Amino acid sequence: MSPLSIVHVLLGLVAVIMGCVIFALPKADSRHRVLGWLYLGCALTGLTAIIVRGLSDPSPFHGYAVVIMAGLIAAVLVSRFRSRVPAWRSWHGALMSFSMLGAAVAVGGVIGGLVLGVGKGPAYYRMFNAVIVCFSMTGLWIINARPVLWGGAIKPRERRVRVWFSGVVVTISGALVLAQWILFSN
């Protein structure tokens, strides 16, 4: 395993653990902010490592990592420019949830690869596509059903954010599955 892969795996694991803790904590307090910045640092560094590693042998998953990174940056920008973004909390929550969903997909792919004993090839990508579909659908259900992520009653703007968020996740996940199926099915 290359040094960049080790950085990616270790920081990704730390980010996933911190993300789970953040999901369980109340939002907008000092712990949320501190853990959020630590999560962001670990996630961006881990994503950068996998993107740089993918420059020599790019795959659709490296494009997925770029999209997740853009989502993380957008989540920070939404909270920074909150006075200009209607329903900014919903957007921030959706974009951060998207990053955790991407992390869950990556972890599922790694575990599935270990179980199958392969890290690439048609068998790996069939399994990985199943992980993407299952984790994305389960993640969307959890993210859209958890009141701790969204607060109290849903307002019309927040409902639109959820619809957009779900549509974006389905589109990006579907594009990744389709690209991997086309490129690696033989």
Looking at residue 147, its pLDDT comes to 61
Alpha-carbon distance of 66 to 51, in angstroms, equals: 7
Alpha-carbon distance of 52 to 177, in angstroms, equals: 22
What is the share, in percent, of the chain residues with pLDDT greater than 70?
95
Checking phi first, is residue 179 left (phi over 0); if not, alpha (psi -120 to 50) or beta? Answer: alpha
Sketch the domain layout of the chain as residue ranges: 3-184
Higher per-residue confidence, 71 vs 148: 71
Stretch 95-120: mean pLDDT: 86
Higher per-residue confidence, 96 vs 28: 96
Q: Which residues contact 84 (CB under 8 A, 6 or more apart)?
A: none
Quick one: tokens of 106?
Answer: 């990556």
The residue among 179, 177, 169 whose CA lies nearest residue 131 is 177
Q: What is the mean pLDDT of the chain?
A: 86
Looking at residue 150, its pLDDT comes to 56
> Residue 163: what residue type?
V
pTM metric for this prediction? 0.85
